[in-house]
């Protein structure tokens, strides 16, 4: 039995939340590449250390997405989506506060954990909200 406490009558609101989070998350990912030179100048690190930015940002994401998707039917989805959004926001905020490169990498992992938690639950939730319309809604989701 699926444990979604989200009413289908609110699916437009939930869809908007999911799509906005996906869009903003991808925008942050695109900024990473543009900020590499800035990271190098600010932290005084070598190019080889800069290569850790992408893997560290991805590490948290790939740890939480599979776990969240496997447990999606057994979790209070609203609470976990909110937790994912908060963890992501805190991770991004803390990245800007600490002028130490290892802290930046740690907060990239934290951001990835939060983003992975949210994104691990968004497709199962869309499945629940749009029964029988998977192709259409997944196409819209992938476009964000």
State pLDDT tens for residues 44-88.
999 999 999 989 989 999 999 999 999 998 989 989 999 999 999
The verdict on residue 2 lying in a domain is no
CA distance 53 to 75: 31
Confidence (pLDDT) at 10: 79
The verdict on residue 67 lying in a domain is yes
Confidence (pLDDT) at 7: 63
What is the residue-wise DSSP string for 104-121? HHHHHHHHHHHHHHHHHH
Of all residues in the chain, the percent with pLDDT exceeding 70 is 94
| Nearest alpha carbon to residue 52 among 101, 16, 14, 114 | 101
Counting the structural domains of the chain, the total is: 1
The verdict on residue 105 lying in a domain is yes
Q: Which two tokens stand for residue 133?
A: 């319309």
Confidence (pLDDT) at 59: 95
The verdict on residue 3 lying in a domain is no
The verdict on residue 109 lying in a domain is yes
The verdict on residue 123 lying in a domain is yes
Of all residues in the chain, the percent with pLDDT exceeding 90 is 56
Provide the whole-model pTM: 0.86
Q: How would residue 2 be classed by pLDDT, with cut points 50, 70 and 90?
A: low
CATH number for the domain spanning 125: value is 1.20.1250.20
pLDDT digits (tens, 9 = 90+) for 133-142: 878 888 887 7
The verdict on residue 5 lying in a domain is no
Q: Which domain, by its residues, includes 27?
A: 10-143
Confidence (pLDDT) at 1: 43
The verdict on residue 1 lying in a domain is no
CA distance 67 to 15: 22
Residue scoring higher pLDDT (109 or 128): 109
């Amino acid at each position: 039995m699926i444990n979604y406490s989200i009413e289908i009558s609110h699916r437009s609101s939930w869809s908007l939340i999911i799509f906005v989070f996906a869009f903003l998350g991808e925008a942050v990912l695109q900024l990473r590449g543009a900020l590499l030179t800035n990271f190098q100048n600010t932290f005084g690190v070598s190019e080889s250390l800069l290569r850790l930015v992408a893997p560290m940002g991805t590490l948290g994401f790939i740890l939480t997405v599979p776990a969240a998707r496997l447990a999606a039917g057994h979790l209070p989805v609203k609470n976990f989506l909110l937790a994912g959004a908060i963890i992501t926001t805190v991770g991004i905020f803390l990245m800007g506060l600490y002028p130490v490169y290892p802290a930046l990498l740690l907060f990239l992992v934290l951001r990835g954990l939060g983003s992975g938690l949210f994104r691990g639950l968004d497709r199962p939730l869309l499945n629940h909200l749009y029964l029988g319309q998977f192709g259409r809604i997944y196409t819209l989701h992938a476009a964000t």
